A and B are shown apart, each in its own frame.
Chain A
Amino acid sequence: MTDMSMNNAQSEKSAARVRLAQRIALRFGLYALLIVFALYYLMPLFVMVTTSLKSLDEIRTGSLLSLPRELDFSSWATAWSSACTGIQCEGLRPFFWNSVLLSVPAVFLSTLLGAVNGYVLAQWRFKGSNVLFALMLFGCFIPFQVVILPMAMTLGVLKIAGTIGGLVFVHVVYGIGFTTLFFRNYYVTVPQELVKAAKVDGAGFFRIFFSIFLPISPPIIVVTVIWQFTQIWNDFLFGVSFSQAGTQPITVALNNIVNSTTGVKEYNVDMAAAIIAALPTLFVYVVAGKYFIRGLTAGSVKG
């Protein structure tokens, strides 16, 4: 009997060892897979950075994936201040500032309007307000091609065609849908009794908004600002359709640099320019990425 139980105990032990080994192998495979994916996502960024630091000679002779033999920052300087975007050769700098001048007011205005709209649609519902919300929401999803022609004409009539102000206007109008959605979904989780209590306390519409709702809003403001900034900074369609030579945003300028057919193809300058164009949104994403994810999922999961 004792032998039997000893044998049993031993086979139990070896079975446990096998299970442990299996688990370790499984974990190892899991991490390997995750790392392969990580490399896949990082590769283009790696290629962009290394290419931007290589000389043209090295690019032609060397390998895409090799590190630069010596660091050459000249293509960054070229991309920033002297690369040609069509006939103009001032680099990305003026267009970078165009994009800043355009996104700051557009983000601010669309967020503000979204906050007030969301507050009304979540807490001050009236007959038909849900229909209005649905109509606004649908506006988020339209392909913008369907509004480009009449918008181009309207901007002309309003005498803001080809101006930064015109682009701000366009971005605000077509951004309201999303910002309203974000704020509405956030405020709708606030119990209606809060507004009732404040009404009994004697506070009015704006007082309740500024004293009670705005103070609880920083999380959703961060989300909305990041979202809007990314959308507006990265926009190409409105930029290319509604701007002219001096008012183009950076995405349009980048495309012009990369796809200009004159002269030698300077891949390192292209890559440096692409990184410069991506830096602001990448920076925001790295600094506030946590909120970014939360915001992206909040809007589409909760609906």
Chain B
Amino acid sequence: MTNHEALLFISIWFGLFLVLGQSVAIVLMGAGIIGIVALVGVKVLGGLLAPDIIGAASSFSLSIIPLYLVMAQFLLRGRVVEDLFLVGYRLSGRRRFPLGAATIVSGGLLGAVSGSGAAASAALASMASPQLQRVGYTRSFSIALAAISGSLAAIIPPSIIMIIYGSLTLVPVGHLFIGALLPGVLCIAVYIGCLHFFAEVSEEGTDTDEGIETDVSRSAVSAFVFVLILMTVIFGGIYGGIVTAAEAGALGAVTALIGMLGMRRIGLRDVFEALTDSVKVTAMLMFIVLGAQAFGRFLSLSRAPRELLDFAAPMLENPTVLIALLLLVFFVAGLILESAAVMVLIIPIIMPLLNAAEVDLIWFGVMACFMISLGLLTPPVGLATYAACAAAGHPVAPIFRRTGLFALVTAVIVSFILVRFPEVVTWLPSRIQ
């Protein structure tokens, strides 16, 4: 087959099996293998497939992933996100808009000590959305808000997707984490703005909820303080140049473990389950990385990245247009594909382009991670929305309408600001050194 025939054939294969419901990792792996065989024959597989699989699975930079996952697991099992919400509940005076905003902020706070979003969305959907309904938001909107708040865990650093970006581009993960701090705060602000404009209020809701007295217990306050301590350990450690992102992850995980055990929030059984779950999710993510890597080898063999570079060469004059286009590609890919897959697939293809345009890789990486993470909220595949709906026992379609709207508006506003003012990303990391 010629390169173009193979690319066409594999695109059809890829789309077909994706729609037929094969898991993303297997679609990538299968399409990659078939594509390689179609282009250059079976003989090349021997030296490519197994070394790539063993090599990627032996990557130190990706070994950070389970550390940030297990840290979040300890906190979730210790019901820390619920307590964060309770503190916000109290501070908001149980008034409608402040409580909605507090939900977003507590999602953001949890996000600052955990790596991925779906689990936090589920916890907030079962815990926070009833309270949100009580102060007058509709049920659908309450669940959507829970999904949106929980998904901040992927946007606010530390983030799994940034770890993967770092491993692909050799940009220090610590710099990405620090660089994403201000954009994360910006994203929270835009969400709160969206809340103001798009909130849906039911007829029977009341603005204040004086019905139930939920005093903020000492334990809720201690959870809040603990999260602040943990944030200091992670970001203070990285920003202060004391530890690397990998070491911050391990310190954070051990701190969370000791803290949750010490406060008797989790038992040994929870520890065991948290470890198992983190192993499971890491394996799942790594399988996507392996599949995307195989697919990437097919693309390299087809010379597609080079053709893309030639094709996009005229645009190098005006990198802003190029960057805006690439961000759009990330957003669209995030609609259907799992975020790790988007990253591993697209970054190697566009790396020559980014280098040729002399794009700041920290700046671009933070923006790319941001666009991909919004995919957690957008239909048809949005894991945060799925998780919130599953926890609340609600059909997904009406929720996707709302989470998708938030994601779209935020994508436009935040990416405009970040492209226009790169300092929002680059200023803090430049001060690490």
Are A and B genuine complex partners?
A: no
Q: Residues of B with Cβ closer than 8 Å to A?
A: none
Q: Residues of A with Cβ closer than 8 Å to B?
A: none
